[in-house]
Amino acid sequence: MPSVTLMGTGGPRRDPTRNATSLLLRTGAEEVLIDAGRGAVRGLGAAGADLKALRRVVLTHHHFDHIGDLYDVILNSWLEGRKHPLVIEGPPGTRQIVDALLTQVYALDWNWRSLGEPTHGGWAPVEVREVAAGEWLEGAGWRAQAEAVSHGHTLPSLPPAFLARWHCHGYRFEVAGKVFAFSGDTVDCPGLRRLAEGADVLVMCCYAAAAELTGEHLRVLARHTLACGDTVGKIAAACGVKRLVLTHHKPRPDDGVLDTLMAEVAADFAGPLEIAHDGLVVEF
Ligand SMILES: [Zn+2]
């Protein structure tokens, strides 16, 4: 049975109980890493992933809580025996980031390991494929369509020159006749609705409960940047989602408010609903 393991269910801010975003899709024929935020490599270890066999990484966007461990994934998969290219797919701009990691930030690191530790058999390459919204990705036992989602795009303070380079995706995965949709980071938008339509599982960002939106910063965030408890249930219900899993949580001093979040979303969405924690396995 295909599954997705939520290895990181937090956001950009430090949280002792949650890694930043990373998910492991298991199709039965292949393991696919989706995002590589803080703690991704640790999460892959905890999930028992076969790093040397990893071939595919799919990125939603370029905030650091989604790519902070990308180099760690590249390097550790090689150290564990990967000989084939690691294919990294993501929005436009992905190539520049991977090139910067390999030719600037960590050039000495991987050269040192390649030359200084030849038992690893020389450097295993990395290939980048930039994916535009609407394009399909295909692998062993899965395919996915990228959708453009709205993650800060409506903030009046972000200038057009920046927004022209700011591409954020969600993905609609098809595996064994089932649909697993991952929102990425977004608020309600047409791309999110397309990828979620009739999904067997929607893993949806939900940063905070509506009851937690107590200041102007968080209210603006909920409107423009990350969906929260006031909208996610409505979106899932409107899209006919069969099962809803909430991720990308803000750090909280205690988790009591999760009951409030659950009640807010359940008021709008009658189907099965889970609040994700790190390590949660969702079979579908
Ligand atoms: Zn994020």
Q: What is the CATH number of the domain that holds 85?
A: 3.60.15.10
CA of 32 from ligand 1 middle (Å) equals 19
Does 118 have pLDDT greater than 80? Answer: no
- Secondary structure (DSSP) of 180-241: EEE--S-BS-HHHHHHHTT-SEEEEE--S-GGG--SHHHHHHHHHTS--TTTHHHHHHHTT-
CA of 83 from ligand 1 middle (Å) equals 31
Percent of the chain, pLDDT > 70? 100
**pLDDT attached to residue 135:** 98
d(CA 46, CA 221): 32
Does 246 have pLDDT greater than 80? Answer: yes
**pLDDT attached to residue 222:** 97
**pLDDT attached to residue 49:** 98
**pLDDT attached to residue 198:** 98
Per the structure, the count of domains in the chain is 1
d(CA 181, CA 194): 10
CA of 225 from ligand 1 middle (Å) equals 9
CA of 208 from ligand 1 middle (Å) equals 13
**pLDDT attached to residue 122:** 79
Hey, what are 120's tokens?
């690893």
Percent of the chain, pLDDT > 90? 94
Does 142 have pLDDT greater than 90? Answer: yes
CA of 153 from ligand 1 middle (Å) equals 14
Predicted confidence (pLDDT) per residue in 47-103, tens digit? 999 999 999 999 999 999 999 999 999 999 999 999 999 999 999 999 999 999 999
**pLDDT attached to residue 50:** 98
Residue 50: CB atoms within 10 A of its CB come to 12
CA of 204 from ligand 1 middle (Å) equals 11
Q: Where are the beta strands (DSSP E) in the chain?
A: 3-8, 22-26, 31-34, 56-58, 86-90, 126-130, 136-139, 142-148, 169-175, 178-182, 201-205, 244-247, 273-275, 280-283
**pLDDT attached to residue 16:** 95
Range of 243's domain?
3-281
Poorest-pLDDT segment among 39-48, 67-76, 115-124: 115-124
**pLDDT attached to residue 101:** 98
pTM above 0.85, yes or no: yes
- Residue 186 contacts residue 150 (beta carbons within 8 Å): yes
CA of 116 from ligand 1 middle (Å) equals 36
The predicted model gives 118-141 an average pLDDT of 91
Name the more confident of 124 and 213.
Answer: 213
CA of 59 from ligand 1 middle (Å) equals 11
Does 113 have pLDDT greater than 90? Answer: no
**Residues with a beta carbon under 5 angstroms from ion ligand 1:** 63, 65, 185
Does 124 have pLDDT greater than 90? Answer: no
d(CA 9, CA 206): 10
CA of 195 from ligand 1 middle (Å) equals 18
Predicted confidence (pLDDT) per residue in 149-168, tens digit? 999 999 999 999 999 999 99
The predicted model gives 106-125 an average pLDDT of 85
- pLDDT tier, 259 (very low <50, low <70, confident <90, very high otherwise): very high
